[in-house]
Amino acid sequence: MPVTDIAPGTSRAPLTGQEILRRAKEAAPQLAARSEEIEQARRLPDDVVELLRDTGVFRMAYPKAWQGPVMTPAEQTEVIEALATGDASAAWCAMVGMDSGIFAAYLAEDAAREIFPELDMITAGAIPPRGRAERVPGGFKVTGRWQFGSAITHADRVIAGVLVYDADGKPEPNPNPRGGRAHWRIVVGRPEQFEVIDTWHSTGLAGSGSRDYAADGIFIPEEHTLSFANPVVPGPEAEPDAILRTMPGVALGVGRAALDHVRTMAGTRVDGQSRTPWRDEYRVQMAVAQAEMELLAARHAVYGTLERQWELLTRGEELTPDDRVSAALARVNAFRTVRGLVGRLFDLVTTSAVYRPSVLDRHLRDLYTMCQHATVQDQILQSSGAILLGGTPRNPIAVGLAE
């Protein structure tokens, strides 16, 4: 039975976080074996989507009240990291699709359970306010076009960021007490309400199906919209940056896979000029150790900052400026560090790395593409610096502040 046909209130058997991680690790080799097919298809094949669904990854953010697995952000990130050792596009789609439980915390319970009648439903879409929502009786008439709808080729629900206009066509003021530029909301709709436009011809993450999508005057009930400034269920799970917490797991998993590939290669490869086995070649030893050192440090920064923030938030403590920006900085560092170390491994392997399908070639292209994401750009450094110095961040969401 397709997931969208499951009756409200029903669900698959509950899973623990440990079971989800175990299933993700078991799925990783299967994903690796399908990587070339996934890339060529420029989307996840249907059976790969179901493989991911069966791991339980899409239910990770649901709380105990929903029969969710009750996983911390660090535990969720570990699952995404495990999947990424198999295939970056699959892990990226899993990371995006698991946000269903996060969005549910921003909706009234009746509406949330209507939208998400089953825990393993996949949500796709983009939150930047590229659309227009005009107030009409009972909700909004939504029009717009959005980019980078990762996982939209197989999504059960679609989100889209909009700016709200009143019945007279005037922009509504931002109701957030912190202020902001306008009334920014996120609408949740059904896939058939949107036109999916095949624009995704990319260097990397080709299999993520991150296509454009558009709406032309569709109706969205007001109770099916949300604002990061006003979670219905406040708490550590409902922070504005919650949808970003697991992102670095993709980069870390790809870095691990690239290093494992080179270390395996070193067991049989011989230097072409010196005829020295790679395992005894000084430059190879140094390159591998340097990459391991950098990956280890980046990984510990990600998990350490996630655990520190979670501990403070669950105790109800106010985050200091340093605590607020730490996870964002660790996130940027993880992506950039892994991109650099995989680039050096690519150079180490030399010409054999350039032929497709080459594992390192795909890893490098995937990393360069994911590092173009807004949350890996210099604006995150600026926003972090602004928080530390008492200035104005250009990307408040990335540092956990609602706009």
For 68-100, how does the pLDDT look when each residue is reduced to its tens digit (9 = 90+)?
A: 999 999 999 999 999 999 999 999 999 999 999
pLDDT at 6: 34
User: Which of 31-40, 48-57, 86-95, 393-402 has the lowest average pLDDT?
Assistant: 393-402
CATH of the domain at 176: 2.40.110.10
pLDDT at 182: 85
Say if residue 270 is in the same domain as residue 375: yes
Per the domain annotation, does 33 fall within a domain? Answer: yes
Domain boundary among 97, 115, 133: 115
- The mean predicted confidence, pLDDT, of the chain is 94
Give the pTM.
0.95
Per the domain annotation, does 237 fall within a domain? Answer: no
Per the domain annotation, does 373 fall within a domain? Answer: yes
Q: Determine the Cα–Cα distance for residues 287 and 272; give it in Å rounded to an integer.
A: 17
Q: Find all residues with CB under 8 Å of 56, minimum gap 6, and list them.
A: 15, 19, 20, 23, 69, 120
Say if residue 298 is in the same domain as residue 372: yes
Q: Which residue would you say has higher pLDDT here, 180 or 23?
A: 23
SS3 312: helix
Beta bridge partners of 220: 140
Structure tokens at 392: 């104005």
User: Which of 215-224, 273-282, 379-388 has the lowest average pLDDT?
Assistant: 273-282
Tell me which residue of 277, 191, 186, 196 sits closest to 230, measured CA to CA: 186
DSSP-derived secondary structure letter, 238: S
Place 180 in a pLDDT band, splitting at 50, 70 and 90.
low
Say if residue 215 is in the same domain as residue 252: no
Say if residue 252 is in the same domain as residue 393: yes
Query: Is a pLDDT exceeding 80 seen at residue 2?
Result: no
> 270: domain range?
247-399
Q: Are strands 184-189 and 157-165 parallel, antiparallel or unpaired?
A: antiparallel
Say if residue 385 is in the same domain as residue 274: yes
Tell me which residue of 337, 339, 354 sits closest to 301, measured CA to CA: 337
Domain boundary among 57, 82, 115: 115
CATH of the domain at 305: 1.20.140.10
Say if residue 323 is in the same domain as residue 347: yes
The answer to whether 106 touches 230, Cβ cutoff 8 Å, is yes
Domain boundary among 115, 136, 162: 115
Structure tokens at 386: 């602004």
Beta bridge partners of 162: 131, 185
Say if residue 106 is in the same domain as residue 221: no
Q: Find all residues with CB under 8 Å of 378, minimum gap 6, and list them.
A: none
Say if residue 222 is in the same domain as residue 134: yes
The pLDDT tens digits of the residues spanning 284-325 come to: 999 999 999 999 999 999 999 999 999 999 999 999 999 999
Per the domain annotation, does 47 fall within a domain? Answer: yes
Number of Cβ within a 10 Å radius of residue 8: 10
The pLDDT tens digits of the residues spanning 55-66 come to: 999 999 999 999
What stretch of H or E contains 139?
A: strand 139-149
Per the domain annotation, does 234 fall within a domain? Answer: no
pLDDT at 202: 97
Structure tokens at 161: 């960021």
User: Which of 45-54, 140-149, 392-401 has the lowest average pLDDT?
Assistant: 392-401
pLDDT at 264: 96
Say if residue 199 is in the same domain as residue 90: no
Tell me how many helices (H) and strands (E) the chain has.
12, 7
Say if residue 186 is in the same domain as residue 270: no
Domain tally, the chain: 3
Say if residue 274 is in the same domain as residue 374: yes
Say if residue 256 is in the same domain as residue 394: yes
Per the domain annotation, does 233 fall within a domain? Answer: no
Q: Determine the Cα–Cα distance for residues 306 and 300; give it in Å rounded to an integer.
A: 10
Per the domain annotation, does 235 fall within a domain? Answer: no
Per the domain annotation, does 242 fall within a domain? Answer: no
